[in-house]
Every structure is written in C-alpha cells, then in structure tokens.
A and B are shown apart, each in its own frame.
Chain A
Amino acid sequence: MTAHVEVKGLCVTARNAAGETFPIVSDIDFSLKRGEVLALIGESGSGKTTIALTLLGHARPGAKIAGGSIRVGESDLLSLDAKGLAALRGNRIAYIAQSAASAFNPSRTIMDQVVEPALIHHLMPRAQAEKKAVELFRALALPSPDTIGSRYPHQLSGGQLQRLMAAMALVTDPELVILDEPTTALDVTTQIEVLRAFKAVVLERGATAIYVSHDLAVVAQMADQIVVLNQGRIREQGLADQVLHRPADDYTRTLMAAARPAIRPAPRQADLPSAPLLEIRDMTAGYGKIGKDGHPRIPVLRNINLTIERGATLGVIGESGSGKSTMARVIAGLLPPAQGEVLLNGEPLPPGLKGRTREQFRRIQLVFQNADTALNPAHSVGEILSRPLGFYHGLKGNAARLRVLELLDLIRLPATVIDRRCGGLSGGQKQRINLARALAADPDLILCDEVTSALDTVVGAAILDLMAELRKELGVAYMFISHDISTVRAICDDILVLYSGDMVEMGGREGYVHAPFHPYTDLLIGSVPEMRAGWLEESGAARSLPLIGASADETELCRFLPRCAARIDGLCNITPPPRHALHKGNNILCHHDEAVLTRLQNLVA
C-alpha cells in the first residue's frame, strides 16, 4: 500500500527584521499510510506547528513555503492555488487547534459551528449534517449528545469544547486530521477523557491523523509513528515503539529524561526552631462581600490548616479552580482571608498588605507563573533585580550592581543581560530572572505559582534543578503550586492536594507513592500519562460511578462527590466527611477507611 500522505524535502523560510531570509524548518521528509497516526514532537520553536500548517498549504504571515512537495491523497498541495486549497481545507483536511475556547465563536451555537464545514463545501444537507454531528457527539462521549448542539461555547467546559472541535473536524470525514496540541491546555483528569475520546474516534473511523505535541507520554498513547523535531530539523523518526523504548538520538533521550522528573531530595534542616516558618490556621478565603456567617460570597478556600518548616518544600496541587493560586495570594497579603490567620515565625501576619512591616514583606516572596507578564517590560534586567536590593537592604549604586551580578551568576545567566530589557530573552531566561528577583530579597519563603507550567519540559527541568540547588545553598523554603503531580513529587517534602478549595489529602511525599490515597488523589495520579503504548486502555477505562440518591442540604458535604468512584449512597451524600489519618501519615478528608481504599485502588491499578 502506498503512502497516503507524503512530505518530501519540505522547507519553510521566514524573513527577519533586517530583511534576510532564514529557514524555520528544512529537509522534512515523512509519509504515512491511510489510517495511521503520526506524531510531531518537539519543544516550542522546533517548527512542529509550522509543519502542521503546511499540510493545509498554509504558512503563517512572514513565512513562506520555499521548497519540497506535500502530497495528500492525489493532490499536490503546493501546486494548488488559493481556490483549490480552500476547497480542500475543512473538507478533506481538517485542523484541530490547541485552544478550543478561543477557536469557537461565542455568539453562535455549537451545532451551527460544527456543521459549518459540511455546509460550506456543500457536502450534505443541513439535516443530515446535524444527524451526523449528533452521532459524533455520542462517539466522543459528550454529555446529552442530542441537545448539546443548541448550547453556546461559554456554557461548556474546556475539555468538552476540545471534543466538539474534533466533531467539527470530523463531520466532513476528512482524509487527514491535524491535531495541534489539543490537550495541552487541559487538566490531567480532563486530558485523559479527551484522549480517550479522540483515540476511540480515530480508531472507529480509520482517520489518518497528524498529532502535534510536546508531551511524549501523550504521544505514546496516540501515535503509530513519531517524528522528533529540534530547531526545524528532524532528529529522529520511526515507529512509536522504537522511538519510545530504544531512542537512537541524544536529543530524544534528553526529552525523555525531562519528561520523567528525577527526585531532587534535600535534607531537612536539623536545627528546627520552636515555631514553624509559616503556619495557616483555619483559614477561609474567597471573593466578594463577606456574609454574616463569615463566609465570602464566592468562597474559594475552606478550613485550610498547614505548616511549612524552615527550608522545607510544600507542594500544593489541584486542578484549575481548586484555589491553589488564591492560597499564594492570601499568604502574600494580596487577598485578606475571611477567617483564620496566617502566622510567620509564630507571629500572626496582618491579613492584608496594610500593616505588614517591610521585614515581613521581605521574608515572603511571590513568583508568578508567567514571566512574560511578571516582569515589567519597561525595566531592564538590572533595574528589576536591584529594586528589591534597594528596597529591603538599602543597597545602592555599585554595591547593588555587584549583588545583581552575583544573582545573575547564581541563576547562571551571563552578566551581559544586565542592561537588556526582558522582551529579548527566552522563556527560560525570563523565568530565571523572575526567580532571581525573589531571591534578591533574601527571603525565608518563596511562593512559586506554577513556575514551570509555561515552559518546555527540558527548560522546566532545568528550573527545577536550579530551585533544588538554591534550596540546598540558601536554605530557603518553597511553597510550590502546580497542577502536575509528577513535578510536585519530584521536589517537595510535603504535598497538599486541594479539590475545589478543600484540603482533601495532606502528607509527606512518601505517602503519595502507594495506595491508599484519597479517591481524588488516586484519580489525579492515575491520570498522568505513562510513556508506553496501551496505558490509556488499561487506566481504568470503564470507571463507572456508583449511583447515589439526592444530596442532603448540607454545605459541608464532600465536594468530590459528583466525580467520586468510591462514593457510598446514604453516607457520602448525607453526612460531611471526617478528616482522619492514614497509617502512612497522610490525613485525608473521606468517609472510607484505610482498608477499603487500599482494596479499591489496588483493584483498579
């Protein structure tokens, strides 16, 4: 059987500011047979999206397809004119973008948009297209497939929109589907559902697909062939099994190593002072006016109790909306809590920014996720780093400059960046400066809000190494907020799992290796893709939820109840769960006792 899609000697060029032409990708060759899935994998800037777009005959503004040939079925894409390409796109070749939330038009219903490709290309009458769309909704395991089409994009979740995007792409039965990082923006627990739906549809329809991703583990679930890209060139290509298990190229091995974060242990400090560094007692926080019962109108965090010892690392993990970032904002004083208190070195901190001393400010530093927005674009690197030096330590002029150079050395950036603005630096370099600004204050505690989430795995791993090293050298404590449990397990001593603002499990790192866990922790751990084919099928595919009756009118009920696989009718939906300790030291918020959880979770795993 001959290849269905064939790319030969593809080369895309762009022009820089000086008007010189330079290649973005060059010498790309690959082919795939009908019904195969090929994965393009690489870090940002490796050219994977550029290649994916050329398969639609498209180059982004400023770029140009300079050479090579692309054949899909019988058509040679590069010889087609604009009209010929338009007839192909959305019809025989479909594209699924990374962010479905911004790819849907918010003012039109889902059904209107899903059937649009079929109508534009006059493939079938509307009624038939709608019938087909409903079939696809069912195949993609969307809730209420018959009526979901009449809803608007803002009424649906990110994972649902991503699946609807797939329905839109598949409604014309395309010969080739291009999926561009379709699950990157999703939580792990959502990602697994979306992946499962994609895989089922791809298998069932025998679609030929190109899957663009930076995540090897995700790719392992989907791909027959893998092409590894770096800086616009193919580093390695072959069958999925071979690339994943017997990588031939050094770069592939680097990628694999970065995807499996190594444990970076740091000894706990011996001379513990009497009071812990940070303590949170019965804290409740949220947004909006605080009501008579002491709860804010939109509560985000409830009954938080935790301590961070000097030099220790606490990981906080949960999905988006679980209140992780709010916790950092409360500790930093940006959001005064509604109830409870935060103690630093045993002394209560004023709830808001007002009334905190400069010394208290200095001891707690905040590092935001996105270094692009956390560094002022109008300031140079030197100005950014010397501000906390002058503000907290009174360092000025030459002394400040020397200290800035020391800091740059500490985060391993060349001294030449000192007079540059951040705009010209790479994502990893910016994140280092973001970290260095916190270090400049000489803090006791650094609150890290998803500091590696926006970075490529290799760059993120380097940042984690740096943080572990700084901790050893400077004895600084971290609160490390993340949605990625493997990262958290790699660098934290203690881990707190948040679900919808409740502490569902809290304990040492060792407690997160073997069952029993809280049912949500179990789901979270089970949803992290493993780097082998077949994992998706094995990982509790048919996790059916036990039926329960109506919930009692009680605000303190377990919030994980609607998604819990271990819920008990008559108990979980009637009485609030107790907090109890497990044998291994973790404490959980659940009705189940240790023995039952162990049995349930070992059964599934």
Chain B
Amino acid sequence: MTASSLRWAKALPLSAKIGLIFVLFWLAVAVFGPMLAPYPVGAFVAYDVFDGMSAQNWLGSDYLGRDVLSRLLSGARYTVGLAAAAALLASATGTALALTAAVGGPKVDEPLSRFMDTLISIPSKILSLVLVAAFGSSLPLLLLIAAVTYVPGNYRIARALAVNLAQMDYVQVARARGEGRFHLALREILPNMIHPLLADFGLRFVFIVLLLSGLSFLGLGVQPPDADLGSLVRENISGLGEGALAILMPAFAIATLTVGVNLLIDGLKGKRA
C-alpha cells in the first residue's frame, strides 16, 4: 500500500509534487498542531504586541500579545477540517442527486435541476450572512452553510458527466440486461466520473476555505478565543501597517494551503490526459 502510493507520488509532475507536500504538511498540522503548540490558544505570553520573531515566540506575538505560532497551529484545524468536511458533504450530496437525475429520467431530472438552479441564483455570501445572523455562529451551522452553498455547483458538473455517460453503449447494454437503477448509477456510471469529480472536489475545497476565511474575516466564523486562519487575519488587521508577522503568517498559510491543493489537482488532471 505504502509502496504503491509512493510510486504514485513519484509519477506526479513536479508542480503536483510541490502541491502534495503543501497538502500533506497542512493535513499534519491539522491533526497534530494543537499538540505541538508551545502555549495554550488564549494565553497572553508576550508584553509587546505585534512583536517580531524571538526565542520565546517563534513567529512573534499578535495584537493582544498571544503567541502567533500556537494560534496558527490550533487554528489550521478549523480551516482544513471544516473545509474538507464541507467539501465532502457538498460533493457527496451533489453527486448523489446528479446520479439520481441521470438514471431517473426527465421526471426526476427536471424538478431537481430547476431546484438547483434556484439555489445557484442565491448569492452565497449573502445567504451565509443571513443564516449566521439568524441562528448565530456555530461549527455545525458553518459546515452546513458551506456545504449547501456548493452542492448546486457540484450537482451541475456531476449531472453533465452522468447524463453523457448514461448514453454510453455499456450503460445501454446494462439497461438491456435488465439492471436496476442502483447498479446503473453506482457500478456503471460512477466509476467513470471519479477523476473529474476529484478535481471538482479539490476546487470546492479551496472555495470553501476562502468562504470560511471570508466569514471569519467579517467576524461571523469561528468564535474567540478559538480562531481559524481567516479570523487570525482579521483580528490582526491593525498590524498590517507595520507588516507584523501576526497578519502575514496566517495569510501565507491560507495561500500555501489553497495553492497547494490547486497544484495537486492540476497535476492529477494532467496525469489523466
């Protein structure tokens, strides 16, 4: 298993290898970060705010004199975990509905597709703002908002793929064999759309990271004293003028995570073509 995944990684183009390293790094931070953090998330450890690098605070201190490294290590978990969970939920739901539409015929397809069009026409940021304002911010709600926002997009792509595949001869043969819809959708159609769907999953992941960071930036995301990468940027915004590490590091973290995922996806697509 490890040997084969190593071989798989070796066959990737250079850019994808770089992406893979970024992605693995951030996954590791998400899992082990809080254990490695030198200080608790909310602890005030430095007397100076927006301090530079020092032996006590490797990445300096933030606007309240907290350790930036500790806050970053603890915050990455929210961004990576929440975004991955939401992207998975959105892709699974979208694809399941798309397969239902593809094998269900026009009577299922039409209402479902029009419903998705309706969802698509609601601006995602506004929808999230309204929902957070109405129900208050909580992790499950953030997860749900992010997932619901990106289901229609995934549905559109998956449906386009599935409807095309449903016309393929091998699906016609399976229909003429008397196979049920479940078999058609899961065994005949789904395996042939996995690669484009993986690429789509990566894209959605990046969008969701940005959406959550944006919400946090507005103060509607993860609530203090916990903070995801987006809220780290927002709370330290006053340090922007002096180029404090407290704002540069979380911004850099978001950048490497999203760029890494994108590089990896592009590499996967290239490998397939």
A residues at B contact (CB < 8 Å): 332-334, 353, 356, 358, 361-362, 364-366, 368, 370, 373-379, 387-388, 391, 437, 441
Contact = CB atoms under 8 A, between A and B. Distances in A.
25 contacts: A332-B176, A333-B176, A334-B172, A334-B175, A353-B175, A353-B176, A356-B178, A358-B178, A361-B176, A361-B177, A361-B178, A362-B178, A365-B176, A365-B177, A368-B172, A370-B169, A373-B168, A374-B170, A375-B170, A377-B192, A378-B192, A379-B187, A379-B191, A387-B177, A391-B177
B175 A376 contact: no
Given A361-B178, A368-B173, 17 more contacts: A334-B172, A353-B175, A353-B176, A364-B176, A366-B172, A366-B173, A368-B169, A370-B169, A373-B168, A373-B169, A374-B173, A376-B188, A376-B191, A379-B187, A379-B191, A387-B177, A391-B177
Nearest to A366: B176
Nearest to B179: A391
Contacts of B188: 376
Contact of B169 (A362, A374, A441): A374
Interface string B127-167: 00000000000000000000000000000000000000000
Contacts of B168: 373
A132 B191 CA distance: 55
A286 B179 CA distance: 24
A449 to B, nearest CB: 9
A376 B191 CA distance: 9
A441 B192 contact: no
A450 to B, nearest CB: 12
Nearest to B191: A378
Contact of B170 (A356, A364, A373, A388): A373
Contacts of A368: 169, 172-173
A375 B192 CA distance: 12
A3 to B, nearest CB: 43
A379 B172 CA distance: 16
Q: For B169, B175, B179, B191, which residue has the most chain A Cβ atoms within 10 angstroms? A: B169
A368 B192 CA distance: 19
Interface in B187-223: 187-188, 191-192
Interface in B100-122: none
A405 B192 CA distance: 26
Nearest to A368: B169
B178 A353 contact: yes
B166 to A, nearest CB: 12
A362 B172 CA distance: 15
Interface of B: 168-170, 172-173, 175-179, 187-188, 191-192
B187 to A, nearest CB: 8
Contacts of B178: 353, 356, 358, 361-362, 391
A452 B191 CA distance: 28
Contacts of A376: 170, 188, 191-192
Contacts of B176: 332-334, 353, 361, 364-366
A378 B187 CA distance: 9
A253 to B, nearest CB: 35
A370 B170 CA distance: 10
A282 B16 CA distance: 62
Contacts of B179: 391
A332 B169 CA distance: 13
Contacts of B173: 366, 368, 374, 437
A358 B187 CA distance: 19
B217 to A, nearest CB: 42
Contacts of A332: 176
A485 B32 CA distance: 72
Contact of B177 (A373, A375, A379, A388): A388
Contacts of A333: 176
Nearest to A376: B170
B188 to A, nearest CB: 6
A416 to B, nearest CB: 21
Nearest to A353: B175
A594 B191 CA distance: 58
Contacts of A362: 178
B172 to A, nearest CB: 6
Contacts of A356: 178
* 8 cross-chain pairs, A with B, having the tightest CB-CB distances, nearest first: A361-B178, A378-B191, A374-B169, A332-B176, A373-B169, A376-B170, A368-B169, A366-B176
Contacts of B170: 373-376
Nearest to A367: B173
A361 B168 CA distance: 19
Contacts of A373: 168-170
B94 to A, nearest CB: 20
Nearest to A364: B176
Nearest to A434: B173
A518 B179 CA distance: 42
A519 B58 CA distance: 93
Contacts of B187: 379
A373 to B, nearest CB: 4
A319 to B, nearest CB: 21
A118 B193 CA distance: 46
A375 B172 CA distance: 11
A147 B237 CA distance: 72
B110 to A, nearest CB: 17
A379 B169 CA distance: 14
A412 to B, nearest CB: 22
A441 B177 contact: yes
A334 B175 CA distance: 8
Contacts of A375: 170
A135 to B, nearest CB: 44
Nearest to A331: B176
Contacts of A334: 172, 175-176
Contacts of B192: 376-378
A441 B177 CA distance: 9
Contacts of A364: 176
Contacts of B177: 361, 365, 387-388, 391, 441
Nearest to A422: B170
A571 B142 CA distance: 79
A366 B175 CA distance: 10
Contacts of A370: 169
B55 to A, nearest CB: 51
A532 B149 CA distance: 70
Nearest to B168: A373
A379 B174 CA distance: 13
A361 B175 CA distance: 10
Nearest to A356: B178
A78 B192 CA distance: 44
A472 to B, nearest CB: 25
A378 B170 CA distance: 11
A374 B175 CA distance: 12
A365 B172 CA distance: 11
Contacts of A361: 176-178
Contacts of A379: 187, 191
Contacts of A437: 173
A373 B179 CA distance: 18
A358 B176 CA distance: 10
A353 B170 CA distance: 16
A387 B177 CA distance: 10
A281 B179 CA distance: 27
A368 B168 CA distance: 11
A365 B187 CA distance: 20
A368 B174 CA distance: 12
B107 to A, nearest CB: 13
Nearest to B172: A334
B244 to A, nearest CB: 51
A395 to B, nearest CB: 15
A437 B179 CA distance: 14
B194 to A, nearest CB: 8
A361 B174 CA distance: 11
A378 B193 CA distance: 10
A332 B179 CA distance: 13
